[in-house]
């Protein structure tokens, strides 16, 4: 009897160590993506091709991290067969890591746009709006990682609530770009890139919202859908 | 001893029934998304606002289906603690359903663009290219569902290989749109929408590639990354 209890304690201890490794790796991936998105926005605002190139190159590490997380979660489920909150922990990382990885992909797309825009006629007014939108997206990414670490579902609801700001910003940037492009053909190339970059930033908000749903799942064990009504009206 | 064996057989039987339910639901979701993307492309080509509206409304069902799949997979893992190939089956559905759902989201985005374009000056030449690109994306979605159902990893590799066609189509459409917009301000609104729609179609190729990775995982139990080198060069 005592022997079995001892075995159980040992196994529990190993599981907790592995779970901790998973959390650390997920947090590391989150920090890398957070840096990628903030660097891509900075590179875009500063017309800094070198920094943009760096974001593109570093994305490889983010993808590797996601693969490692996937392998680790599968190993954990197969070896320890976790239930209730332990299972939730593992599943949250497995699902949310896809969303985090995709935010990284969008940082790459923004960086590619930065490089392609070199030498085109800029529209400072739009660049200011995109920089503001980029900052909002960065704050949302940072906040959702914080909510995940603190297991704070209230914060997750609030972050998802803020997503409409990015939708409105996209709408405004898109309309202004169209007017510029219609009035001055020399702004067509930059205007098209601005529209795409704003679209990428808006999508980042959607991925953050998905991660918010997983933070709520982690806390309450319920799968919720945030902002769906709002999306329908868009 | 016999009693325990009998219990195991009963449990295995229930698990297999539940797993089958999961497969059927995933296939159903796949078919819905397949229809959504082909309808959204058709609505775009035919300037059919009504069909576009239908795609937007039906997306709710796809989202509900994803939630149901998520709940069912979690229940299966918690109740039956599957290992090896059974676990792989369940995890594949859990992960690939996010990609399938996002293809549905992009069908919605294409439908929204269709509605917004009403009354703008069209560019038939570009519309032909987008229709072709849309068809390629539809074929890829259909094929990956087929590869999943047949558990055919060779097919998955081939489908992912075809993704560069969508990348090239996007590049071509983007360049042509820029030229039209620069030469005729009246094409700026439609040109912007065309560029966005082509971007959505290209992203669908990326999601299909992700599903291909899961089909390979299902067969070989290995997490692979497809098209990453190619993406870096883009």
Interface test with A, best of B192, B209, B228, B230 (most A CBs within 10 A): B192
The predicted complex's ipTM stands at: 0.87
Q: What are phi and psi of A87, to 5 degrees?
A: -65, -40
C-beta neighbour count of A161 within 10 angstroms: 14
Q: Which residues are within 8 A (CB) of B227 and not within 5 positions of it... i.e. 6 or more apart?
A: B160, B163, B164, B209
- Cβ neighbours of B205 in A, within 8 Å: none
- Give the minimum alpha-carbon distance from B161 to chain A in angstroms, rounded to a whole number: 19
d(C-alpha A223, C-alpha B5), whole Å: 35
Q: What is the pLDDT of residues B35-71, one digit of tens each?
A: 999 999 999 999 999 999 999 999 999 999 999 999 9
Q: Is B115 on the interface with A (CB under 8 A)?
A: no
| pLDDT number for residue A198 | 97
Longest CA–CA separation in chain B, Å: 83
| pLDDT number for residue A221 | 85
CB nearest A182 (choices: B178, B183, B188): B188
Question: Positive or negative, the Cα torsion across B224, B227, B232, B233?
Answer: positive
Residue whose token pair is 């970059």: A197
Q: What is the mean pLDDT of residues A113-127?
A: 92
A195/B56 Cβ within 8 A: no
Tell me which of B128 and A118 has the higher pLDDT: B128
Interface test with A, best of B69, B98, B119, B181 (most A CBs within 10 A): B181
Q: Is A20 on the interface with B (CB under 8 A)?
A: no
Q: What is the pLDDT of residues A56-77, one digit of tens each?
A: 999 999 999 999 999 999 889 8
Q: What is the pLDDT of residues A180-233, one digit of tens each?
A: 999 999 999 999 999 999 999 999 999 999 999 999 999 988 888 887 655 544
| pLDDT number for residue B233 | 43
| pLDDT number for residue B228 | 65
Locate the chain A residue with the closest alpha carbon to B67. Answer: A223
- Cβ neighbours of A189 in B, within 8 Å: 178, 182
| pLDDT number for residue B36 | 97
CB nearest A199 (choices: B63, B71, B196): B196
Q: Is B119 on the interface with A (CB under 8 A)?
A: no
Q: What is the pLDDT of residues A80-96, one digit of tens each?
A: 888 888 988 999 999 99
Question: Positive or negative, the Cα torsion across A26, A28, A29, A31?
Answer: positive
Q: Is A196 on the interface with B (CB under 8 A)?
A: yes
A196/B192 Cβ within 8 A: no
Locate the chain A residue with the closest alpha carbon to B224. Answer: A67
| pLDDT number for residue B153 | 94
Could you please report the per-residue DSSP string of A76-102? Answer: HHHHH---HHHHHHHHHHHHHHHHHHH
| pLDDT number for residue A229 | 55
Q: Is A70 on the interface with B (CB under 8 A)?
A: yes
d(C-alpha A18, C-alpha A174), whole Å: 46
- Give the minimum alpha-carbon distance from B59 to chain A in angstroms, rounded to a whole number: 9
Q: Is B67 on the interface with A (CB under 8 A)?
A: yes
Helix axes A49-80, A84-117, angle to 10 degrees: 160
In the 3-class helix/strand/coil scheme, how is chain A assigned residue by residue? Answer: CHHHHHHHHHHHHHHHHHHHHHHHHHHHHHHHHHHHHHHHHHHHHHCCHHHHHHHHHHHHHHHHHHHHHHHHHHHHHHHHCCCHHHHHHHHHHHHHHHHHHHHHHHHHHHHHHHHHHCCCCCCHHHHHHHHHHHHHHHHHHHHHHHHHHHCCHHHHHHHHHCHHHHHHHHHHHHHHHHHHHHHCHHHHHHHHHHHHHHHHHHHHHHHHHHHHHHHHHHHHCCCCCCCHHHHHHC
- Give the minimum alpha-carbon distance from B20 to chain A in angstroms, rounded to a whole number: 20
Locate the chain A residue with the closest alpha carbon to B228. Answer: A60
| pLDDT number for residue B81 | 86
- Give the minimum alpha-carbon distance from B155 to chain A in angstroms, rounded to a whole number: 22
A196/B189 Cβ within 8 A: no
Q: Which two tokens stand for residue B70?
A: 């998520």
Q: Is B174 on the interface with A (CB under 8 A)?
A: yes
The model's confidence at residue A78, banded by pLDDT at 50, 70 and 90, is confident
C-beta neighbour count of A7 within 10 angstroms: 10
Q: What are phi and psi of B226, to 5 degrees?
A: -100, 145
Q: Is A46 on the interface with B (CB under 8 A)?
A: no
Question: Positive or negative, the Cα torsion across B13, B14, B15, B19?
Answer: positive
| Domains, chain B, ordered by start | 2-233 (1.20.58.220)
Q: What residues of chain B score a pLDDT lower than 70?
A: 228-234
A189/B174 Cβ within 8 A: no
Number of helices and strands in chain A (H, E) = 8, 0
| pLDDT number for residue A111 | 97
């Amino acid at each position: 009897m005592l022997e079995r209890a001892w075995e159980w304690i040992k196994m529990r201890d190993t599981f907790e160590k592995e779970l901790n490794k998973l959390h650390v790796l997920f947090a590391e991936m989150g920090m890398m993506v957070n840096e990628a998105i903030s660097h891509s926005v900075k590179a875009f605002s500063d017309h800094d091709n070198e920094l943009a190139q760096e974001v593109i190159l570093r994305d490889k590490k983010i993808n590797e991290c996601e693969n490692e997380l996937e392998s680790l979660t599968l190993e954990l489920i197969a070896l320890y067969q976790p239930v209730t909150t332990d299972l939730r922990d593992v599943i949250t990382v497995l699902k949310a890591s896809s969303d985090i990885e995709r935010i990284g992909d969008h940082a790459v797309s923004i960086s590619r746009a930065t490089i392609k825009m070199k030498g085109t006629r800029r529209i400072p007014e739009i660049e200011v709006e995109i920089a503001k939108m980029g900052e909002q997206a960065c704050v949302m990414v940072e906040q959702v990682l914080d909510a995940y670490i603190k297991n704070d579902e209230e914060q997750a609801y609030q972050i998802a609530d803020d997503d409409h700001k990015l939708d409105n910003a996209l709408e405004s940037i898109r309309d202004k770009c169209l007017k510029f492009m219609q009035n001055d053909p020399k702004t067509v190339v930059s205007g098209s890139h601005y529209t795409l970059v704003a679209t990428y930033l808006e999508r980042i908000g959607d991925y953050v919202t998905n991660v918010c749903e997983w933070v709520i799942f982690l806390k309450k064990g319920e799968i919720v859908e945030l902002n769906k009504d709002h999306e329908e009206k868009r």
